[in-house]
Amino acid sequence: MTDAVVITCALTGAFGTRARNPALPVTPAEIAASALEAARAGAAVVHIHVRDPQTEAPSMDPALYREVVERIRAENREVLLNLTCGAGARFVPGEADPRQAGPGSTLTTPAARVAHVAELRPDFASLDVGSMNFGEHVFVNTPAHLRQMAQAMRAAGAKPEIEVFDLGHIELARRLIAEGHIDAPPLFQICLGIPHGAPATPQALMAMQAALPPGAHWSGFGISRMQFPMVAMVAALGGHVRVGMEDNLYLSAGELTPGNGALVERAVKILELTGHRIASPDQARGLLGLAA
């Protein structure tokens, strides 16, 4: 345990609602304020989704991303920014004709999914490698689309954070790396507990960590009640960790978290009690494989 552990905070995601936790950040001002709170608590990276301020629904509006980034950077130039590119991949088959998109589908072009990254040039951009049943819809990420998105991230100077939800996703990522679409050393995010993906268990975590290519940087997380147990397990295996209201709305059983800062503070406590140091944003650049 000679290296510090990087904490990423995933601020709002696409599925939580204020009906479930009133503290969930929704507007650009709230998301930016939550990012700054998480950074003060010890997060070196903030993972950003945006919402429609009126409806709370997930949004892909570049103007909303721009406002969040500008608000964060007006107060903090150090915390590392990770913009999601997972939006625009949802497919729900139409009832009359399953070949046609039904209500709830968001499937769009690779260019649309990375437009905000091309403009804002963050430190990281999430690249969700692999398709899967994601709850009740299908999450569609074809190899051709992933190649285009990876190339756009490279052009924007954003390192892909390769999100993997099962073992087959790691195999596809290894292929993209071998083809030269993702630069070495790659950065993986092992996502556990998502409905119909790999479960948030020690066995699944160890199997996926063992499948990573040699020299890869990696982080991992579990959702819901497995968020904090996975902090300890991931760090014990030498990985970096992620917490945040995208993945979990509770601080403990029956206790809603008052915000993202409290979740980061709990992760800091777990890591320090188990003998780990917390990485600063500057340390995180090297630990996550960012170019100097």
**Which of 44, 56, 40, 58 has its CA nearest to residue 9?**
44
List 133's β-bridge partners, or say none: 138
What are the boundaries of each domain within the chain? 7-287
**46 membership: H or E segment, kind and range:** strand 45-48
pTM: 0.97
The pLDDT, as a whole number, for residue 292 is 60
* CB-based contact 125:117 (threshold 8 Å): yes
The whole-number pLDDT of residue 203 equals 98
pLDDT at 237 over 80: yes
8-state DSSP, 201: S
Alpha helices in the chain (DSSP H): 28-41, 62-75, 110-113, 115-120, 143-156, 167-178, 202-211, 227-236, 260-273, 281-287
Predicted confidence band of residue 3 (pLDDT cuts 50, 70, 90): confident
- Using the Cα atoms of residue 119, residue 125, residue 131 and residue 132 in order, give the sign of their dihedral: negative
For residue range 84-125, list pLDDT tens digits in order.
999 999 999 999 999 999 999 999 999 999 999 999 999 999
| Mean pLDDT calculated for residue range 28-49 | 98
Residue 205 above 60 pLDDT? yes
Listing DSSP states for 107-134 in one string gives: ---HHHHTHHHHHH--SEEEEE-S-EEE
If one counts every other C-beta atom within 10 angstroms of the C-beta of residue 236, the result is 14
Residues of the chain with pLDDT > 90, as a percent, come to 98
Report the top-level CATH class of 7-287: alpha beta
